[in-house]
């Protein structure tokens, strides 16, 4: 009896010690921001563009960034009339998680206060509709623009192109009735549990390690598959640019990833964008020099442990580039 009691006591003590250690590690990782950040966004499914943000939500990321999505499902805490009854000069932003401002607080994202500054430059009241959505690629953006964006009657459309946007088809994932997303709906672990696990710094640390291990062990991609993916992406991009340009002034922002800034690597995605833009005569504004300047000044233009998403310093650089772009094009900034 005493032996059984001793074993039980030891189990309780060990379990308690492990729980305390896990809680301490969790707090240490959170305070030090030693993992990638993660959000709690919810979505709605759509047959054409696959998914978009669920309207009217606000959440706080693992590292404490506050993100607001308005009643249209766009990144904004403000209100506007999509029917264009106000007569304001409308700028529509289309992009993926980088344009959305993934894991950056509302007050630090590049669009915060940008409309007011552009209003002074352009000489007309400006409203910005940021319809960017995480996990989108060019196929999703084309379908969304044909379904929704083309009806917004924007004076200008800013397409934010990231060099990892090459894909054979639109990104897609399962969305539960309450808006949570997963690529594995048949898992034995309930989706709500998995969503809760995503907000754990310890889980994110483990996930980062497993992702890196999987990346290193991934076999080389079949050249024919790569060529097909590039061909389909190029067709989708050319179609999207033509659709936008037929209705609005088109501005293209090329958004590099960390290796392209730190190691000045060229990517297939960036080359694809250059090829399509030059073929059709569309000017492209490259953010890489501005992000390189941020890095030269001792700041990281990207979020910690993240090779894609911009930090607050990166958003500030993006904002400055957009203001400069508007200033240089003031003479052509009247309504189309």
Report the alpha-carbon distance of residue 285 to residue 245 in Å, rounded. 16
- Can you tell me the distance from the alpha carbon of 110 to that of 226, in angstroms, rounded to the nearest whole number? 34
Burial label, 189 (beta-carbon count in 10 A; 0-12, 13-18, 19+): exposed
Q: What is the model's pLDDT at position 198?
A: 78
Query: d(Cα 246, Cα 239) in Å, to the nearest integer?
Result: 11
Q: What is the spatial distance between Cα 151 and Cα 28, in angstroms, rounded to a whole number?
A: 48
Superfamily of domain 43-332: SGNH hydrolase (3.40.50.1110)
Q: Is the dihedral of CA 274, 276, 279, 280 positive or negative?
A: negative
**Contact residues for 300 (Cβ-Cβ < 8 A; gap 6+):** 294, 311, 313, 314
**Sheet of 284-286: strands edge to edge?**
126-130, 89-94, 156-162, 249-255, 284-286
Cβ-based neighbour number of residue 326 at 10 Å: 20
Sign of the torsion formed by the C-alpha atoms of 145, 134, 241 and 301: positive
Look at residue 323 in the predicted model and tell me its pLDDT: 96
H or E segment to which residue 229 belongs = helix 223-245
Q: What is the pLDDT along the chain (336 residues), one digit of tens a residue?
A: 677 777 778 788 888 888 898 888 888 888 888 888 889 899 999 999 999 999 999 999 999 999 999 999 999 877 777 777 778 899 999 999 999 999 999 999 999 999 999 999 999 999 999 999 999 999 999 999 999 999 999 999 999 999 888 898 999 999 999 999 988 888 888 888 887 887 888 888 887 787 777 777 777 777 888 889 999 999 999 999 999 999 999 999 999 999 999 988 788 899 999 999 999 999 999 999 999 999 999 999 999 999 999 999 999 999 999 999 998 876 554 444
Query: Which residues in 39-51 are b (16+ Cβ under 10 Å) and which e?
Result: bbbbbebeeebbb
Measure the CA–CA gap between 231 and 178, rounded to whole angstroms. 36
| Beta strands 181-182; 174-175: pairing state | antiparallel
Q: Is 310 helix (H, G, I), strand (E, B) or coil?
A: strand
DSSP lists the bridge partners of residue 280 as none
Round to whole Å and give the CA distance between 69 and 54: 8
**Cβ atoms within 10 Å, residue 207:** 16
- In this structure, the number of other CB atoms found within 10 A of the CB of residue 307 comes to 14
DSSP β-bridge partners for residue 254? 161, 286
Task: Name which of 115, 78, 120, 71 is nearest 93 in CA terms.
Answer: 115
**What is the structure's pLDDT at 138?**
97
Residue 273 neighbours by CB distance under 10 Å? 28
Map tokens 């293209």 to a residue.
Answer: 252
How much is the pLDDT for 335? 43
* Residues in contact with 211: Cβ distance below 8 Å, sequence separation at least 6, in sequence order: none
């Amino acid at each position: 009896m005493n032996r059984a009691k001793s074993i039980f006591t030891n189990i309780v003590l060990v379990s308690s010690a492990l729980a305390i250690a896990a809680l301490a590690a969790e707090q240490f990782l959170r305070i030090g921001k030693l993992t990638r950040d993660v959000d709690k966004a919810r979505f709605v499914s759509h047959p054409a563009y696959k998914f978009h943000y669920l309207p009217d939500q606000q959440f706080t990321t693992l590292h404490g960034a506050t993100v607001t999505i308005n009643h249209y499902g766009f990144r904004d805490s403000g209100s506007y009339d999509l029917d264009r009854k106000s007569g304001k000069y409308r700028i529509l932003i289309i992009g993926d998680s980088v344009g959305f401002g993934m894991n950056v607080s509302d007050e630090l994202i590049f669009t915060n206060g940008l409309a007011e500054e552009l209003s002074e430059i352009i000489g007309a009241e400006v409203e910005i509709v940021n319809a960017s959505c995480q996990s989108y690629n060019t196929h999703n953006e084309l379908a969304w623009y044909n379904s929704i964006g083309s009806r917004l009657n924007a004076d200008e459309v800013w397409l934010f192109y990231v060099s990892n946007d090459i894909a054979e088809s639109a990104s897609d994932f399962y969305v539960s009735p309450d808006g949570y997303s997963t690529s594995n709906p048949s898992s034995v672990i309930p989706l709500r549990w998995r969503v809760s696990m995503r907000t754990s710094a310890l889980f994110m640390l483990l996930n980062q390690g497993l992702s890196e291990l999987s990346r290193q062990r991934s076999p080389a991609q079949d050249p024919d598959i790569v060529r097909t993916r590039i061909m389909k992406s190029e067709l989708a991009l050319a179609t999207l640019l033509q659709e936008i340009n037929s209705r609005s002034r088109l501005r293209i922002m090329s958004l590099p990833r960390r290796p392209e800034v730190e190691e000045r690597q060229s990517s297939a995605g960036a080359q694809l964008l250059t090829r399509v833009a030059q073929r059709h005569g569309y000017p492209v504004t490259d953010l890489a020099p501005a992000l390189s300047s941020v890095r030269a000044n001792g700041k990281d233009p990207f979020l910690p442990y993240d090779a894609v998403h911009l930090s607050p310093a990166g958003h500030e650089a993006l904002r400055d580039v957009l203001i400069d772009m508007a200033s240089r094009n003031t003479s052509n900034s009247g309504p189309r």
